[in-house]
């Protein structure tokens, strides 16, 4: 069986990228090894290993072929070809784990041969608002002279392909560079995304995201499969700190990709309130920084300086997994700054590690964090954290979810296999 595996960009090293790697692992466990990875950007293996560890990233070495494509041109060709001409697409099944960002579509897609994991229907709103930042960040495009012209940003791919992917059995393919107006880009993307969502089997991460997808596309058969969490690794943090209260310090932990839509400035506002009340020793913000958000990171650092928080807030950028686990051992509270988070992988990780998690009352995390730790405003979040530090003894471990195994990697892999086997069985009928 030949599989085309789609993920736009692995290098942000967020939860979506971990889900993609675990999904590859599930395919290999099913004995499916003829896998092509179709992506928009070369994976940086060293960065991936630093974030997720060598064991998980080793699945990349078993990929048969990697195609780096210009998605605008791929979709344009689909529009031009006859809808029944499928001879150019030699895959039995297509799995898109980046369905909220990379709208890769082929006219041969049906619900029995195409599966899309969509974390949230963000692309629909990017297309409708003609969000240029989406073209630059998610699709790797860049402006050329006039602001309404774009080209892909693959200039250095061929030079770096061998060094970045030396451990993979790779056959890189590149598209010719083409310029397109902004209107052309979004018209093409709308064709691809609307068809992808309506003609593939859609899976998402939470009831919050399922409702958003239903509202966006009117779909009535969206599956919910929680993302894979390495529960065992993070539970070990809690086990290591049990009975050793001095390891837990009054530190507030924030885990977030450095990205404007993650609203990290909310954490900085919270830190200002807590510092003024002399609550907590420090706030540590741990997250991966991708090059196109460097300006946002600079603005966050400037905000910390302006609010006189340089002795309270510590950034840990592109921290290794071991470094993250070490910080978790000394932290007591986890704060999630983004309202309307689609799921919240970092929240589950923090819970498994024994931290008390404080989350917004809107979004995926509110589905599994007790209501008493939900906040509506930053001021309310500060009150909750003040209560935790002042009223709850350090030895108390609040059991926030009854069984974190429901979010484990094994649980995800079994759920994914069930969905895929159901698809394959329908094809045989």
Distance CA 429, CA 224 (A): 25
User: Does residue 203 share a domain with residue 57?
Assistant: yes
User: Domain residues for 248?
Assistant: 231-407
User: Does residue 269 share a domain with residue 155?
Assistant: no
User: Does residue 61 share a domain with residue 94?
Assistant: yes
Output the pLDDT for position 237. Answer: 83
b or e along 36-71 (b: 16 or more beta carbons within 10 Å of the residue's beta carbon)?
bbbbbbbbbbebbbbbbeeebbebbeebebbbbbbb
Output the pLDDT for position 290. Answer: 85
User: Does residue 153 share a domain with residue 280?
Assistant: no
Q: By the 8 A CB rule, do 381 and 335 touch?
A: yes
Q: By the 8 A CB rule, do 97 and 14 touch?
A: no
User: Does residue 314 share a domain with residue 223?
Assistant: no
Output the pLDDT for position 86. Answer: 61
Q: Which residues pair with 149 in a beta bridge?
A: 181
Output the pLDDT for position 80. Answer: 82
Residue 276: other Cβ atoms inside 10 A: 11
Low-confidence ranges of the chain (pLDDT < 50): 155-176, 398, 400-402
**Three-state helix/strand/coil letters over the chain:** CEEEEECCCCCCCCHHHHHHHHHHHHHHHCCCCEEEEEECCCCCHHHHHHHHCHHHHHHHHHCCEEEECCHHHHHHHHHHCCCCCCCCCCCCEEEECCCCCCCCCCCCCCCCCEEEECCCCHHHHHHHCCCHHHHHHCCCEEEECEEEEEEECCCCHHHHHHHHCCCCCCCCCCCCCCCEEHHHHHHHHHHHHHHHHHHCEEEECCHHHHHHHHHHHCCCCCEECCCCECHHHHHHHHHHHCCCHHHCCCEEEEECCCCHHHCCHHHHHHHHHHHHCCCCCEEEEEECCCHHHHHHHHHHHHHHHHCCCCCCEEEEECCCHHHHHHHHHHCCEEECCCCCECCCHHHHHHHHCCCEEEEECCEHHHHCCCHHHEECCHHHHHHHHHHHHHHCCCCCCCCCCCCHHHHEHHHHHHHHHHHHHHHHHHHHC
- Please report, for the domain that includes residue 381, its CATH number: 3.40.50.2000
User: Does residue 154 share a domain with residue 248?
Assistant: no
User: Does residue 175 share a domain with residue 254?
Assistant: no
Q: By the 8 A CB rule, do 202 and 213 touch?
A: yes
User: Does residue 144 share a domain with residue 33?
Assistant: yes
| CA angle 247–249–252, rounded 5-degree value | 130
Distance CA 428, CA 62 (A): 28
User: Does residue 394 share a domain with residue 265?
Assistant: yes
User: Does residue 393 share a domain with residue 293?
Assistant: yes
Output the pLDDT for position 78. Answer: 85
Look at residues 12, 7, 18, 9 and name the one whose alpha carbon lies nearest to residue 290.
12
Structural domains in the chain (count): 2
User: Does residue 291 share a domain with residue 238?
Assistant: yes
Output the pLDDT for position 428. Answer: 64
- Please report, for the domain that includes residue 98, its CATH number: 3.40.50
Place of tokens 């001021």: 379
User: Does residue 387 share a domain with residue 357?
Assistant: yes
């Amino acid at each position: 069986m030949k599989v085309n595996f789609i993920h736009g960009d692995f290098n942000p090293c967020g939860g979506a990228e971990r889900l993609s790697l675990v999904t590859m692992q599930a395919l290999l466990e099913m004995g499916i090894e003829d896998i092509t990875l179709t992506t928009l950007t070369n994976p940086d293996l060293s960065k991936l290993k630093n974030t997720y560890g060598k064991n998980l990233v080793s699945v990349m070495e078993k990929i048969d072929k990697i195609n780096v494509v210009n998605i605008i041109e791929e979709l344009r060709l689909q529009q031009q070809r006859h809808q029944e001409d499928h001879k150019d697409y030699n895959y039995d099944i297509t799995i898109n784990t980046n369905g909220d960002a990379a709208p890769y579509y082929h006219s041969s897609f049906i619900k029995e041969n195409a599966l899309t994991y969509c974390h949230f229907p963000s692309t629909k709103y990017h297309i409708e608002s003609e969000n240029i930042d989406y073209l630059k960040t998610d699709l790797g495009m860049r402006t050329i002279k006039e602001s309404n012209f774009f080209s892909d940003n693959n200039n250095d791919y061929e030079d770096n392909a061998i060094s970045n992917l030396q451990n993979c059995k790779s056959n890189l393919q590149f598209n010719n560079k083409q310029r397109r107006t902004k209107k052309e880009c979004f018209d093409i993307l709308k064709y691809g995304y609307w068809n992808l969502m309506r003609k593939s089997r859609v899976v998402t991460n939470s009831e919050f995201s399922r409702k958003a997808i239903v509202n966006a596309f009117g779909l009535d058969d969206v599956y919910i499969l929680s993302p894979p969490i390495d529960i065992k690794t993070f539970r070990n943090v809690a086990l290591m700190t049990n009975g050793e209260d001095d390891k837990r310090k009054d530190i507030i932990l924030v885990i977030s990709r450095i990205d404007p839509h993650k609203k990290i400035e909310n954490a900085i506002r919270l830190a200002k309130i807590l510092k003024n009340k002399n609550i907590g020793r420090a706030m540590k913000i741990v997250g991966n920084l991708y090059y196109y958000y460097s300006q946002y990171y600079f603005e966050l650092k400037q905000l910390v300086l302006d609010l006189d928080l340089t002795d309270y807030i510590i950034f840990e950028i592109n921290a290794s997994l071991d470094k993250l686990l070490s910080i978790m051992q000394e932290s007591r509270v986890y704060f999630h700054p983004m309202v309307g988070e689609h799921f919240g992988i970092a929240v589950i990780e923090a819970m498994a590690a024994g931290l008390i998690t404080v989350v917004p009352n809107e979004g995926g995390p509110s589905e599994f964090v007790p209501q008493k730790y939900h906040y509506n405003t930053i001021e309310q979040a500060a009150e909750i954290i003040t209560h935790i530090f002042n009223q709850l003894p350090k030895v108390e471990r609040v059991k926030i979810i009854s069984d974190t195994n429901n979010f484990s990697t094994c649980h995800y892999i079994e759920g994914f296999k069930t969905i895929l086997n159901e698809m394959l069985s329908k094809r045989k009928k």
